[in-house]
C-alpha cells in the first residue's frame, strides 16, 4: 500500500489544502508569521506520515516520525486558535477545521499505538 492510501494521510492532506485556501484571506501583515506557520505545520503532518510509512520496517523510526506528525498536528491546532481569536476565521470554519484536526490526531495516535497494523514488525 502507498502512504497516500492511509486514512490519516488523506485527511491531513485535505485539511492542509483547506488551510492553504483559507489562509489566503489572512491579512498581509500575517504573511511571514501566522500564514506561513499554519501552512508549514499542516503540511508537515502529511510529510511526517509519509516518512513514517517509508520507515515502517523499523518500529522506533516509524513511531518517532509519527510523533513528529502528531506534534505538527498539535501546532496546527494552536495556529487555528490564533486565527480564530484574531478574527481571521469565523466560528463555523474554526469548528470544522479543529474537528478535522482532532480526528487526524486520533488517527495518528492509533497508528502509534498499533504499528503492527501498518506493516511494522516488532
Quick check: is 70 in a domain? yes
> What pTM did the predictor assign?
0.95
Quick check: is 49 in a domain? yes
How far is 62 from 12, CA to CA, in rounded Å? 17
Quick check: is 103 in a domain? yes
Query: CA 42 from chain center: how many Å?
Result: 5
Which residues have C-beta within 8 Å of that of residue 62, sequence separation ≥ 6? 52, 53, 55, 56, 115, 118, 120
Structural contact between residues 44 and 106, judged by C-beta atoms closer than 8 angstroms: no
Instruction: Tell me the pLDDT tens digit for each residue of 70-119.
Output: 999 999 999 999 999 999 999 999 999 999 999 999 999 999 999 999 98
Quick check: is 122 in a domain? no
Instruction: Tell me the pLDDT tens digit for each residue of 13-67.
Output: 999 999 999 999 999 999 999 999 999 999 999 999 999 999 999 999 999 999 9
Counted domains in the chain:
1
Quick check: is 20 in a domain? yes
Quick check: is 95 in a domain? yes
Q: In this model, does residue 122 exceed pLDDT 70?
A: no
> Domain with 84 in it: what CATH number?
1.20.1440.60
Quick check: is 121 in a domain? no
Phi and psi torsions of 24, nearest 5° = -65, -20
**Domain that includes residue 86, residue range:** 6-115
Amino acid at each position: 500500500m502507498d502512504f497516500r492510501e492511509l486514512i490519516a494521510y488523506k485527511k491531513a492532506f485535505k485539511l492542509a489544502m483547506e488551510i492553504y485556501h483559507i489562509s489566503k484571506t489572512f491579512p498581509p501583515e500575517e504573511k511571514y508569521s501566522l500564514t506561513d506557520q499554519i501552512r508549514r505545520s499542516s503540511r508537515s503532518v502529511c510529510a511526517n506520515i509519509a516518512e513514517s510509512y517509508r520507515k515502517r520496517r523499523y518500529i522506533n523510526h516509524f513511531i518517532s516520525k509519527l510523533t513528529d506528525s502528531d506534534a505538527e498536528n498539535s501546532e496546527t491546532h494552536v495556529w487555528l486558535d490564533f486565527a480564530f481569536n484574531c478574527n481571521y476565521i469565523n466560528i463555523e470554519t474554526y469548528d470544522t477545521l479543529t474537528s478535522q484536526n482532532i480526528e487526524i490526531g486520533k488517527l495518528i495516535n492509533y497508528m502509534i499505538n498499533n504499528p503492527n497494523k501498518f506493516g511494522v514488525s516488532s
